[in-house]
Structure 1
């Protein structure tokens, strides 16, 4: 079997339900079990007090970590990058002159491309946009804002997301740091304040962000965030997904170029996807 050669473009919608059956069985079962539960932390009236959201999140993230060690951190960093992109409008709304989010997003993308190039045994092309290696400091105590804010918890937890995102670059801290990010976003106010819409946000993470992180692709959509009415006025648009689309296209073009090595662990390289899985993915992308 040979892999199809098509143009990679992630600006079109790709149904994650098609991808889920091709993920590891353990992860499929974990996602299905998590979806069936109801959680007090998400303000669901039918919640079971014995079901703890953090335990569910830990289980899903641990399944990520239990897969091929060479790829687990890369997938964790990709998930952190998705949240860094999604949280960025919160910072830019209240602190429009704060460049920290963009610097950290660039750092995460740069790290991913370099590490993936190393794993794939290919030479990375020079790209000045992804070469920012300056020291980045995050001062969560500087909670000044240029707009009215319902709670400074919004800004504090949004800044915490970026501090945790940087820590995912450390192999021994990627799981712990992702847990911090998800706590700030799913239960906290980093994306939006209030209790309404929490289950929708959780389902977006579980059914969109998790498979998207597994396949190194952008989330299907962030449009639903604009439908939630309990925000201060932050505008979530798909514009911020541009760097994710660009990085994902780069990554997948290399996956395809290295598809002949999907079975043979030449020079220690093991492709993250089988040829059949690659073709299924590309067939869906071509529709």
Structure 2
């Protein structure tokens, strides 16, 4: 009887040890997979590196002093920087606020028109995009806070050169769009009209193009369309497995104060909990809240800032998410 009891005890301990070994193996395998995919993504990005003058190592800005991050809702200042443009005037920069709700895994996107006429702290009335060139992401944050009373916790400066690689990782078969007319001027390619799947380079050209009757308004609309469709492609198990690789692809092209753990957590939450949820978008200034003017800094959108401040805060509020 004692021998049987001792045998059962040894068998039980062996079973526990085997379970522990299996769990340890899975953890090690997961860590190895993460490292492999991440390094694979970095290798992909390094095949077409950004120039030294535009790399994140050479970006020198004032310390970012955004609001302290708390569980619940996160605002990320997204700044697109087109390093491939040949002329300063032709830069296809983008300025957005990405809003992520950690409770619902919902994502909202606010596009801020770069020609919006605002007061830049210490520099007076300027176009909104001047804040980045004058003082980097911290001055952009201060400008948004000063004019719209909305603060952000994080920032991310994304080089458009990496955009095409990110697209190809998320959507290897391309992103389907309906091009209304031929696009060629200023994008280094010709996109013919009609429904088609665009790869990363082509989609980059699609969102950069602004030489039409809608100018920057059309460009912002296409940016929101592309990001919305990319988000839809991303919420799949296949992309979840590719998330480490995607983070590796992004790394050389992004300067951000979001730590890797937080970035992975947000990405995981969006991919696993964001299915069937449309990306809500807003443009500031909103239609009917501004007039076109020519001032000392050029052609601007002279907006009713109080009205747009209310629209922005309502859009980002919890109450609006429940509607």
What TM-score do the two structures reach when normalised by structure 1? Answer: 0.30
Question: Which structure has the bigger radius of gyration?
Answer: 2
TM-score, normalisation: structure 2: 0.28
Q: Which has the higher helix share?
A: 1
